[in-house]
Structure 1
């Protein structure tokens, strides 16, 4: 696709999958798993000695391997759990355009999208000794996958194809490898939103109830709810939610209580609190509210594990919006915005204990870290880590 799917100034060129950022990066179609890559060292985490308050944990970094100045695979690093300081490590090679990463619940396998015209997903086994093995790659059946997630059962990988506006399901074997795709659903209706040229599935995530899967489509201004058949790996639509026309919903994050979710809308620069019914899978969006950032393009929102605070990445202003979560998740109160310390923060991630916040800054090719205070405050932690075209960061347990 040569034209951007929605007009806006200075958008990242990843939207133009056939020319520019990802030109010439398509994987060869592969009906079977690719040949496993030779195991290569990655940094192993070190546990804290008895009585010590600190330890180092692994951090994985997604990139575009075909972008100018991009990486050569999945970046690795370690971070200090007390200070947030990040130390770079080697690269997991044999993975094309790994722009989004997700960890299996067992912690033994990481999955990466191959964001390119011939979309694909790749499985990489992670060993406790710091070695890895690329288990193989499967086509998603669509183009430009931007997001993937693992169903809580650990048996299904879900992926969203942005450029073709579809979502896919792959089975996960006992060793973490991927089987042939079991379903592919294209968002053929409703018609594209204002300024859009078609559906653009940007995210797919399982609700806390485990029985419903929600797909966020920026092109149709719709969040689709599906029921996943856990025996067959197929999706059945059960509900649709429609935020404001032209809002461009990009990313949905659930409150830990499971009754509310927060929608980051890229095109109208708002955050929307949504009520969620776990019995029916129905999502009910409220009215969009300010990101506090002026003109910008919201990317991703994360919520602390205790459900007390939410943080939003704002591309353009290069800031982080802080919200206090109130009324058991039913409301977000804007606190302030703070500089992210990089350019074009595309993705955020919390450490497993929600004590640290990491931001992947695409245009500055850096990862920045912040300590989270008991009052939700953000304090820069250590120096920014140079990371080629950093577009995703994944702290491991």
Structure 2
């Protein structure tokens, strides 16, 4: 399964200004955009675009054979990309991107229902998947050729309606951490020889709805979908324990109405945290001061329902996947202040879910 021709309907907006970058810019950076093929309007699964030196995305092709691509994860060497196929009979797909002709290697059962997130162990030997539909987390072995191998572990979260939304490896590589929206909990697993053993269940207040977290050293920032908050968690990699601390709203002080945050990310220098607000349709910016978050601003995404976003490798732009608008929009980023500024740049992809960069 190879790259098909560039798909009609993917377009970029004109009338934009270039953004100066203090670091080397990757001209023609390969970019992967996942979308829901089962939604209306139907997405294409995996679009391939090229990002130019000014941050503009241009369509390059569509990868055949990847259904409902809702999240991506890279191998440590960035030669292989993995995608969740968010369907009732969940699967995950391995993609070889070691050449300029990406190709599907294989697709394997995710071990659960409706996978929404996956990550690769820093060793490159294992792949972890969170299955939202049935609240399970699985581990698969990665084969030397990048393909998905045997399932080595499957754990099911407790509760009446668990919904595992994310699974990541802590910075030490010793622990696997899963965020469960339905169980209102973050689970910490000891990981050894392909097996997962529950070590801690950190339970959040009812109505929190934890969705995604991001680590930075011995701190993690946990974004909640149901009550629009970020909880700052202290992380002890020696004991494998999380401790909840500061709780701050993900929204502007004056915001009202329904809102469902989706994604959270931190700048490489650890000074700024970003969160997407579906409903407000904004990206919130927070400064990090003495381990605490300080609200700075919200920036309109220029679209509807920002399910995911990603900083580019230079961190001079933040690209937002606006699911209901069917657009990827670009916000310019000041690397010194962390501030975001809307641009007219827009790349059209129906039912878009996720974006990632090869660099």
Does residue 240 (structure 1) correspond to residue 188 (structure 2)? The answer is: no
3-state secondary structure, aligned to 1:289:
strand
Instruction: Name the Cα RMSD after superposition.
Output: 1.8
Distance 2:59 2:6 in 1: 10
Deviations 1:208-237 (A, max 9, x none): 1111110000001100001111xx311111
Q: CA contact under 8 A between 1:138 and 1:180: conserved in structure 2?
A: no
Specify which of 86, 89, 92 is matched with residue 121 of structure 1. 92
Alpha-carbon displacement from aligned partner over 1:64-114 (angstroms, at most 9, x marks no partner)? 111111222211111124x22111221011111111111111111110111
Q: Is 1:275 aligned with 2:234? A: yes
Instruction: Determine the structure 2 residue equivalent to 1:4.
Output: none
- Flag the structure with higher strand content: 2
For 2:351, which of 389, 393, 396 is the aligned residue?
A: 389
The within-5 A match list for 1:114-263 is: 114-128=85-99, 130-188=100-158, 191-192=159-160, 198-229=161-192, 232-255=193-216, 258-263=217-222
Secondary structure (helix, strand or coil) at the match of 1:286 reads: strand
Report 1 or 2 for greater relative contact order, CA contacts < 8 Å, sequence distance ≥ 6. Answer: 2
Q: Is 1:65 matched up with 2:37?
A: yes
The correspondence of residues 85-96 of structure 1 with structure 2, limited to 5 A, is: 85-96=56-67
Unaligned runs of 5+ in 2: 8-22
Contact 2:6 2:59 in 1 (8 A): no
Inter-partner Cα distance in structure 2 for 1:64 and 1:39: 18
Report the Cα distance in structure 1 between the residues aligned to 2:87 and 2:24, rounded to whole angstroms: 45
Is the CA contact (8 Å cut-off) linking 2:35 and 2:43 kept in structure 1? yes
- Flag the 1:148–1:338 CA change in 2: closer, same or farther, 3 A: same
Query: For the structure 1 residues 274 and 133, does the alpha-carbon distance in structure 2 shift closer, same or farther, using more than 3 Å as the test?
Result: same
Cα distance in 2, alignment partners of residues 239 and 93 from structure 1: 40
Q: Counterpart of 1:288? A: 247
Deviates more, 1:271-280 or 1:288-297: 288-297
Match of 1:378 among 340, 350, 359: 340
Length, aligned pairs only: 339
Q: What's the secondary structure of 1:348's corresponding residue?
A: strand
* TM-score, normalised relative to structure 2: 0.90
The equivalent residue for 1:302 is 265
